């Protein structure tokens, strides 16, 4: 499996320092007059991100720039993090100072891609759609085109493809997809710009390796094609997976016990999620030998090109949701051929919300939110135990589907993210950033369920139990009496997000 390395998206100050992670060294001949300049776009975003620490408010307007490229159908392809939480997006062509208002048509935060449209047809006059190529080869020369931060001029840098793997994307720090590493010098402001080889788009620049020089990452053409094909019906469905846990079979003794031949690889299936595509087809104890006829090695890798081996999860993500995969399984010494219809799995700890208000519930000064990767990675180390408990299986394993920790029916991890100081909450201030297990003895399934339990509870006390065994006890009548005054004092307009307001009606 790929080791986890810290990657940070380029081109927005919310995610990356203004200093370049990679040195910018334009190649000779850098100019807007390049043969590709008619395809290139600067993206100017004004955003108002939510404050994950104070979920009822926004952080305030922020502006940043990124890059994009015109593709077939009079559309602009860019990186999702360039337009995340946007309130207005403008674009301008390379060599043209006029700005045009753009609309975000589709966005995929897990694969860090977005499609923009421009209503004013004048914008596309004289433009040239850049054709989309295929997965580049190792050592293949590439050029990265983009607009450096702090200016409107086009920069072109060159390098080679140095690595192809399945790895984590920097935008959500959560999703593992096919990823290409290049040693072309890129810098802040390049996000969303095309990586080009032989006149075709082979990827979209998205991130750089932190504390390293000349290591950048692009979303490769196969992932770009998957995204574009997905949204053809006007809806983004996402990347499917089989929904199983597995163990590598590099141990000779384990391979012998399972009856594998010396030339056979495969993965030992250890569990299958009920929501996963493989449920009812795969069983614990099966050996997954091949997917669509492509053999899986004993370390879980597959060969996708000459000399290129990547994690086998790549094969699960190739089809669109609703399409099928053919599986070759070894079960009790017999080889079986099975077909599965692919669908996405639900996440107990999802990447997190973008482009909308954050869900929350406040009760007598206690602030509750769902646990998301976006929340965890915004904490700057203040919730390391939460990361270990809920994300380490993700970082070191084969899946982003975290099990429900033995709590039947739990669909969401709810955490106490803050305690507003009041006489009522005295002594509970240090319990924040803690997972909630139950309210008045009832196990919490999700944030909406927690809200219902607080609204409908009876009895003299409200008893909130955390997963660490801590108890928060409030006198119910005192809590209800103080609730409105606490909201007024902290200037909080309402005690819950809009979606919980609707569910309460």
What is the Cα 200 distance to its own chain's centre? Answer: 26
Average pLDDT over residues 231-257: 92
Separation CA 22–CA 78 (nearest Å): 20
Residue 337 CB coordination number (10 Å): 10
CB contact set of 202 (below 8 Å; sequence gap of 6+): 133, 134, 135, 136, 140, 142, 180, 195, 196, 218, 220, 221
Strands (E) in 315-365, as ranges, are: 324-331, 334-341, 361-363
Q: What is the mean pLDDT of the chain?
A: 85
Phi, psi for residue 266 in degrees, rounded to 5: 120, 175
Q: Tell me the whole-structure pTM to 2 decimals.
A: 0.86
**Whole-number pLDDT of residue 231:** 96
Catalytic site includes residue 158: no
**Whole-number pLDDT of residue 243:** 87
Exposure string (b/e) for 435-470, b if CB count within 10 Å is 16 or more? bbbbbbeeebbbbbbbbbbbeebeeeebebbbeeee
- Specify the pairing of strand 334-341 against strand 62-71: unpaired
Query: Between residues 40 and 10, which one has the greater pLDDT?
Result: 40
Topology at the third CATH level for domain 7-233:
Thrombin, subunit H (2.40.10)
Q: Is 244-341 in CATH node 2.130.10.30?
A: no
Question: Looking at the domain that runs over 361-504, which CATH code has it been given?
Answer: 3.20.190.20
CB 55 within 8 A of CB 359: yes
**Whole-number pLDDT of residue 399:** 35
SS3 123: helix
Catalytic site includes residue 81: yes
Helix or strand holding residue 436 (H, E): strand 434-439
Separation CA 183–CA 217 (nearest Å): 9
**Whole-number pLDDT of residue 112:** 94
What is the Cα 108 distance to its own chain's centre? Answer: 8
Most confident of the ranges 275-279, 334-338, 409-413: 334-338
Which of 34-43, 254-263, 315-324, 381-390 comes out lowest in average pLDDT?
Answer: 381-390
Catalytic residue among 112, 241, 452, 495: 112
Average pLDDT over residues 183-210: 86
Q: What is the CA radius of gyration of the chain?
A: 25
Separation CA 221–CA 472 (nearest Å): 51
Residue 321 — left, alpha, or beta (φ > 0 → left; ψ -120 to 50 → alpha)?
beta
Q: Is the pLDDT of residue 45 over 70?
A: yes
Separation CA 192–CA 467 (nearest Å): 41
CB 70 within 8 A of CB 127: yes
Catalytic site includes residue 279: no
Q: For the chain, which residues make up each domain, given as ranges?
A: 7-233, 244-341, 361-504
Strands (E) in 249-286, as ranges, are: 267-272
Q: Is the pLDDT of residue 12 over 60?
A: no
Catalytic residue among 81, 145, 449, 483: 81
Separation CA 364–CA 490 (nearest Å): 12
**Whole-number pLDDT of residue 414:** 94
Which of 77-86, 91-100, 191-200, 342-351 comes out lowest in average pLDDT?
Answer: 342-351
CB 180 within 8 A of CB 198: no
CB 291 within 8 A of CB 325: yes
Phi, psi for residue 483 in degrees, rounded to 5: -55, -55
CB 402 within 8 A of CB 346: no
Helix or strand holding residue 219 (H, E): strand 216-220
Q: Which of 178, 289, 246, 207 lies closest to 393 in space, CA to CA? A: 246
Average pLDDT over residues 485-493: 95
Separation CA 12–CA 241 (nearest Å): 31
Catalytic residue among 67, 191, 197, 301: 191
């Amino acid at each position: 499996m790929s080791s986890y390395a810290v990657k940070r998206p380029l081109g927005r100050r919310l995610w990356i320092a203004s200093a370049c992670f990679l040195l910018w060294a334009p190649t000779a001949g850098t100019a807007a007059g390049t043969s590709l300049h008619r395809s290139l776009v600067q993206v100017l975003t004004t955003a108002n991100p939510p404050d994950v620490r104070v979920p009822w408010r926004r952080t305030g307007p922020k502006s940043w720039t990124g890059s994009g490229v015109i593709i077939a159908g009079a559309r602009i392809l860019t990186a999702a993090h360039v337009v995340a939480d946007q309130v207005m997006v403008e674009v301008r062509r390379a060599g043209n100072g006029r700005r045009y208002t753009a609309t975000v048509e589709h966005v995929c935060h897990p694969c860090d891609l977005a499609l923009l449209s421009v209503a004013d047809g004048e914008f596309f006059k004289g433009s040239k759609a850049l054709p989309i190529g295929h997965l580049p080869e190792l050592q293949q020369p590439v050029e990265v085109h983009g607009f450096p931060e702090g200016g409107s001029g086009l920069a072109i840098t060159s390098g080679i493809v140095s690595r192809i793997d399945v790895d984590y994307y920097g935008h959500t720090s959560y999703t593992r997809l096919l990823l290409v590493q290049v040693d072309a010098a890129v810098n802040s402001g390049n996000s969303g710009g095309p990586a080009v080889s032989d006149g075709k788009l082979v990827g979209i620049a998205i991130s750089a390796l932190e504390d390293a020089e000349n290591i950048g990452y692009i979303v490769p053409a196969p992932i770009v094609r998957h995204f574009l094909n997905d949204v053809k019906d006007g809806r983004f469905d996402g990347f499917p997976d089989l929904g199983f846990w597995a163990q590598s079979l590099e141990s000779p003794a384990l391979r012998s016990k399972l009856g594998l031949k010396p030339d056979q690889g495969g993965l030992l299936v250890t569990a299958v999620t009920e929501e996963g595509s493989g449920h009812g087809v795969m069983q614990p104890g099966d050996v997954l030998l091949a997917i669509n006829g492509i053999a899986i090695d004993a370390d879980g890798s597959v060969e996708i090109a000459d000399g290129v081996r990547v994690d086998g999860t790549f094969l699960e993500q190739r089809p669109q949701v609703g399409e099928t995969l053919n599986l070759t399984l070894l079960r009790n010494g017999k080889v079986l051929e099975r077909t599965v219809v692919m669908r996405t799995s639900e996440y107990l700890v999802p990447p997190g919300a973008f482009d909308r208000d954050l869900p929350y519930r406040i009760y007598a000064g206690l602030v509750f939110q769902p646990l998301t990767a976006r929340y965890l990675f915004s904490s700057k180390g203040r919730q390391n135990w939460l990361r270990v408990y809920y994300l380490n299986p993700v970082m070191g394993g084969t899946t982003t589907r975290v099990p429900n920790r033995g709590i039947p029916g739990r669909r969401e991890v709810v955490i106490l993210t803050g305690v507003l100081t009041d006489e009522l909450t005295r002594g509970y201030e240090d319990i924040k950033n803690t997972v909630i297990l139950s309210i008045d003895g009832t196990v919490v399934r999700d944030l909406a369920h927690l809200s219902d339990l607080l609204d409908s509870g009876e009895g003299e006390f409200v008893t909130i139990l955390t997963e660490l065994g801590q108890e928060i006890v409030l006198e119910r009548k005192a809590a209800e009496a103080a609730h409105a005054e606490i909201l007024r004092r902290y200037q909080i307009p309402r005690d819950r997000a809009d979606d919980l307001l609707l569910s309460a009606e």
